[in-house]
Amino acid sequence: MKKAWPAGRQGFTLPFILIVLASILVSGVIYFRFQNKSSNPKAPAASPPTSTDAYGTWKTYKNTAQGFSIRYPKEWFVKEYGDWAVDFQAADPKIQEASPAAVKVRYSISQDQVDLKEFEKIYKARVGEDIYEPLDVKSIINKNKNSEVGGYMTVDYSINRNFTALEGPRGEHRHIYEINKDGTVLKFLATAQTEDEFKIFDPIFQKMISSLKF
C-alpha cells in the first residue's frame, strides 16, 4: 500500500522545487555573462593624439616682403626695422631698448655687390675650409655646408674673431646662414661672446633655421 504524503508536505515541495530551479537558472545566466565579459575585455580608451609639432610652443615670425616664415622661442621678442631687418631678442622692445647682448638672432637683407660676392666666395669654398680676413680684427670664416631652401642657394658658415689688443683680449663667435634669393642676400646671424655661451645657444639657432620655410 502506497504511503501518502501529508497534505502540508505536498504543498511545500512544489514551491521549493521551483525556487531551486529558478536559482540554478539565475546562477547560470550570471556565470555565462561573467565568462563572456572576461573573454572579451573592454578595449582600452584611445589615447589623445600626440602633437607632431617639433617646435612646441615656439612662436612664428612671417616676412611677407621676402615670403618666408621662421619659428623662434616663445620667451623671445621681435623688433622689426621695416622689411629689411629684424631682431629676435630676450628683452621686450616695447618696454626697454635691448642691449647688444639681448639680441639673440638678427635677420637682414642686402643687395650690395660686396655682399653678393662674399656669398659667392663662401659658397664656392670647400666644406671645412678656413678663410682668413685681414681686417682690423682677425676673422676666420669656416665653411660648414651648402644647401638649398625654397629652391634658393644657401650657405652655412661660422666666423671666429679675435679683436686687437687695443680693443681688449676678447673674442666673438658667429653662426651665419645666408640665402641668395634672386640677387638678394638674406642673412640670419647669431652671435655669442664666449665659446660656452655659443655651445648653449647655437643648438637653438640651428633649430630656428630648420624651421625656415618659403
pLDDT tens track of the chain, all 214 residues?
545 545 555 555 655 555 655 566 556 555 556 565 555 555 556 666 665 788 999 999 999 999 999 999 999 999 999 888 999 998 888 886 767 778 999 999 999 999 999 999 999 999 998 888 765 567 889 999 999 999 999 999 999 887 665 555 567 899 999 999 999 999 999 999 888 999 999 999 999 999 999 9
Enclosing domain of residue 195: 59-210
Same domain assignment for residues 31 and 71:
no
Same domain assignment for residues 182 and 83:
yes
**Residue 100 burial (10 A CB sphere; 0-12, 13-18, 19+):** exposed
Look at residues 189, 195, 135 and name the one whose alpha carbon lies nearest to residue 171: 195
Contact criterion met (CB below 8 Å) for 174 and 162: no
Same domain assignment for residues 77 and 181:
yes
> Measured between alpha carbons, how far is 99 from 160 in angstroms, rounded to an integer?
21
Same domain assignment for residues 31 and 101:
no
Same domain assignment for residues 75 and 147:
yes
**Residue 172 burial (10 A CB sphere; 0-12, 13-18, 19+):** middle
Q: Is residue 54 part of a domain?
A: no
Count of domains forming the chain: 2
pTM value surpassing 0.85:
no
DSSP annotation of 131 = E
Same domain assignment for residues 112 and 138:
yes
